[in-house]
A and B are shown apart, each in its own frame.
Chain A
Amino acid sequence: MQSKRHYIGAYVQYAILAFAFLGPVLWMVSSSFKNNVDITAYPPVFLFKPTLKNYLNLFRVYPFAKYILNSFIIAGFSTILGLLMGVPAAYAIARFRLNSLAFLTLLARMAPGVLFLIPWYIISTGLHLSGNDFTDYSSLILAHCVVTMPLIVWLMISYFESVPIDIEESAVIDGCSRLGLFFRISLPLSLPGLAVSMVLSFIFSWNYFLFALALANNSTMPLTVIAFNFIGEGSADWGGLMAASTIISLPALILTIFAQKLLIKGLTTGAVKG
């Protein structure tokens, strides 16, 4: 009996939390199926004839599929590159206590994003990195590593720190090298943590819009820059914006839901006891 009452309390909290965090999201999604006139209506319209016009327009008026692909390429590769650089670094920092280097990797994340715009633009034109899609993607991916890599480093430091040292120690006695320790002991034990870092850095990179302004051209522009284009003079397209926003959040959402199990599992592995 007592546990049932306990659940009721929990579910009341569920309801409040879901309302608070999901309410505005539902507003966004429902608006994406409305005409503009219903979106700005007061009092709000709860019953309306849903329209797919906003979504269809996205693909008819804009090369939206192209933008989605661009966002995937940029977020995907900057995550991978961030992992390649960040995970070994996090391991070394955790094991050798290189705290000042940990701080240094965060430095790029501390500067206001605007500070990078013109200098990077000058570098990319100076090195003739701009102009074709391949180099544009490359420089954008590198730029986005400034977003992904520090996040990965710092999250992974805490996961590596929680891998018990005793396990490594016995492996060393068995003749395992440092790289062997990393690849065969610590990394496998932290794989789920890796999944957490991967998901979070993908989301952060996916949502970042400032660098693309400097480094992308027309055909390498990601979704988030284009989302600004819906509210212009004489053409405030709220429905289009809400549809675009829904689409923009979708991949991250799907990724998160699928990663849920992993995230929780991943966060649990830290508890492996020596």
Chain B
Amino acid sequence: MNSATRRVISVTSAITVMMLLIVLISGCSQATQGSAGGTQSKKLSETITVLAEKHPWTTAIQPYIPEFEKQTGIKVNLNILSEQQQRAKSLMTLQAKSPDIDVFMSLKSLEGLAYEKAGFYESLDKYIKDPTLTPADYKINDFMKGPYDGERIEGKLVGIPIIVEGPVIFYRKDLFAEYNIPIPKTLNDLVAAAKTVEQKSNGHVYGIALRGLPPAVCYDFGPFFHNMGLEWLDKNGSLNFDKPGAVTAINTYCTLAAKYGPPGAVNNNFYQDSSLFAQGKVAMELDSSNELASIIDPSNSKVIGKIGVFAIPAGPGGNHPTVLQWGISMSAYSQHKDAAWKFIRWATSPEMQLKLALKGIASPRASTWDNAKFKASLKSTVKKEWAKTLEFILKNGNPEVGPPAVKEAEVRQVIGNNIDQVILGSETPQAAANKIQQQAMEVIK
């Protein structure tokens, strides 16, 4: 055979042998460590696995974890995955009843009911009530009602809130001043503001960027629905999309997206919205309060110093913003429950939540918001407005991001799909409302 081939084959085999050695060595050292740790772990140290999402909270708390390990001697194995993958991994692990996860981030407003029915969550009530496990300085009553209740499913405490967020509107102060637009007080004002921007800028700047990607629509759309005076479900557990207000809500949302939004809004999620806003292509961005970090980052944004924040304005039925809390929960199959609780307690303690708040994580604890140090950290006006808006959301928020159901994700997809049809102009708001009512009820049943 020719020599080049020979050479490649021999180089390949050399690499193979080397890799084999690396793996064997690392494998052996791991194995010895593992077995040594295994025999001693009961007495000396424990390792817990925390499955977290790639999220601002995770990024903020990560540097403090060594402190926890030093204090308690518990080793923390922090596993960070993207949202979709984190959910798949937690479902897979818990479904197999595996003890591989001790603590995991979980979105109660999405998978809470399904996970609770499946028995995946360890009840935290007994840990909270036991003074030996939870000393008084943990101040459990300090948690705000909305996020704390959001972690309670069918009466059982299944998690502790770590961060709160909600859809808010970021806007361009300079453009609003230039075009004489007042801060919208009602949903109609909001539509009018978006219209003014498009007209006065001759279409160079779009009115508003909002979510259109089907599974993400409910998060932004919820307040429009609730501000018509409607809950997702009526007393009998039936959807409220057959009420006249539902059609108005769909119409308002879709008018914003179709007439005064950027083209292709139906595929947009938070990152497209923030890119559009940060590039100065839209005057308003309706998205998660967490997006503040992206649009005030100088390496990311062209509109620094021109940003303001306000809450989604009221509708005929009042103002009911959506509040979403993330929580950390303990797996029912964990074999290190006491250590897991120690971690949860540490991560959600008043001191830690203050530290994280100073890094821009919106805290679910009331004391944080009153803290002088925290208040002093809100130097810029945009941060002050952001904090004010979040406080408003926290006080008045509705924790139901979408209609509560075991298959909530599918219900949200149905709503998102039909709203997209209206944005695309292939369905009337009335027809979409009818379809949502009928299709989503089939899923909820």
Decide if A and B are genuine partners. Answer: yes
Size of interface on A: residues with Cβ below 8 Å to B: 51
Across the interface, which residues of B come within 8 angstroms of A69, CB to CB? 22
Alpha-carbon distance A73/B24, docked complex (angstroms): 11
Interface presence of A64 (CB below 8 A): no
Interface presence of A174 (CB below 8 A): no
**B19 contacts A77, C-beta separation under 8 Å:** yes
Interface presence of A36 (CB below 8 A): yes
Interface presence of A85 (CB below 8 A): no
Contacts A228-B81, A228-B85, A234-B290 given; does A118 touch B55 at CB 8 Å:
no
- Please, what's the 1-or-0 string for A121-140, where 1 marks a CB less than 8 Å from any CB in chain B? 11001000011111001000
Alpha-carbon distance A237/B23, docked complex (angstroms): 32
Across the interface, which residues of A come within 8 angstroms of B28, CB to CB? 134
A136-155 interface (Cβ within 8 A of B): 137
Interface presence of A76 (CB below 8 A): yes
**B92 contacts A118, C-beta separation under 8 Å:** yes
Q: Which residue of B lies closest to A134 (CB)?
A: B27
**B81 contacts A233, C-beta separation under 8 Å:** no
Across the interface, which residues of A come within 8 angstroms of B98, CB to CB? 121, 125, 130
- Please, what's the 1-or-0 string for B244-284, where 1 marks a CB less than 8 Å from any CB in chain A? 00000000000000000000000000110011001101000
Q: Which of A22-30, A94-102, A259-267 binds B?
A: A259-267
Interface presence of A201 (CB below 8 A): no
Alpha-carbon distance A122/B31, docked complex (angstroms): 22
Q: How many A-B residue pairs have CB under 8 A?
A: 145
**B294 contacts A118, C-beta separation under 8 Å:** no
- B288: contacting residue among A130, A229, A234, CB under 8 A: A234
Across the interface, which residues of A come within 8 angstroms of B293, CB to CB? 234-235
Across the interface, which residues of B come within 8 angstroms of A189, CB to CB? 1
Size of interface on B: residues with Cβ below 8 Å to A: 62
Across the interface, which residues of A come within 8 angstroms of B281, CB to CB? 42
**B16 contacts A80, C-beta separation under 8 Å:** yes
Interface presence of B14 (CB below 8 A): no
Contacts A214-B92, A235-B294 given; does A132 touch B31 at CB 8 Å:
yes
Contacts A37-B299, A41-B279 given; does A133 touch B30 at CB 8 Å:
yes
Across the interface, which residues of B come within 8 angstroms of A157, CB to CB? none
**B290 contacts A125, C-beta separation under 8 Å:** no
**A213 contacts B85, C-beta separation under 8 Å:** yes
Across the interface, which residues of A come within 8 angstroms of B82, CB to CB? 228-229, 231-232
Contacts A191-B5, A214-B92, A218-B77 given; does A225 touch B290 at CB 8 Å:
no
Q: Which residue of B lies closest to A188 (CB)?
A: B1
Across the interface, which residues of B come within 8 angstroms of A41, CB to CB? 279
- B300: contacting residue among A37, A73, A80, A261, CB under 8 A: A37
Q: Which residue of B lies closest to A51 (CB)?
A: B299
Contacts A233-B55, A236-B294 given; does A228 touch B84 at CB 8 Å:
yes
Interface presence of A198 (CB below 8 A): yes
Q: How far is the CB of A151 from chain B (nearest CB, A)?
A: 17
Across the interface, which residues of B come within 8 angstroms of A265, CB to CB? 2, 4-5
**B26 contacts A130, C-beta separation under 8 Å:** no
**A262 contacts B19, C-beta separation under 8 Å:** no
- Please, what's the 1-or-0 string for A176-216, where 1 marks a CB less than 8 Å from any CB in chain B? 00000000000011011011001000000000000001100
Across the interface, which residues of A come within 8 angstroms of B31, CB to CB? 132, 134
Interface presence of A117 (CB below 8 A): yes
Interface presence of A72 (CB below 8 A): yes
- A117: contacting residue among B15, B78, B92, CB under 8 A: B92
- B4: contacting residue among A35, A53, A121, A262, CB under 8 A: A262
Alpha-carbon distance A73/B9, docked complex (angstroms): 18
Interface presence of B34 (CB below 8 A): yes
Interface presence of B89 (CB below 8 A): yes
- Please, what's the 1-or-0 string for A60-80, where 1 marks a CB less than 8 Å from any CB in chain B? 000000000100110011001
Q: How far is the CB of B244 from chain A (nearest CB, A)?
A: 34
**B79 contacts A218, C-beta separation under 8 Å:** yes
Interface presence of B44 (CB below 8 A): no
**B290 contacts A122, C-beta separation under 8 Å:** no
Alpha-carbon distance A265/B77, docked complex (angstroms): 48
Interface presence of A13 (CB below 8 A): no
Q: Which residue of A lies closest to B88 (CB)?
A: A213
Q: Which residue of B lies closest to A114 (CB)?
A: B88
Q: A80-B16, A233-B291 are in contact. List 13 more A-B contacts (CB 8 A).
A: A35-B300, A37-B278, A37-B301, A118-B96, A133-B26, A134-B23, A134-B28, A225-B85, A231-B82, A232-B54, A234-B291, A265-B2, A266-B5
Sample of 15 A–B contacts (CB below 8 Å): A36-B299, A37-B298, A42-B279, A42-B281, A77-B19, A132-B27, A134-B28, A134-B31, A218-B49, A228-B85, A231-B271, A233-B290, A236-B271, A265-B4, A265-B5
Name A's B-contacting residues (CB within 8 A). 35-37, 40-42, 53, 69, 72-73, 76-77, 80, 117-118, 121-122, 125, 130-134, 137, 188-189, 191-192, 194-195, 198, 213-214, 217-218, 225, 228-236, 258-259, 261-262, 265-266
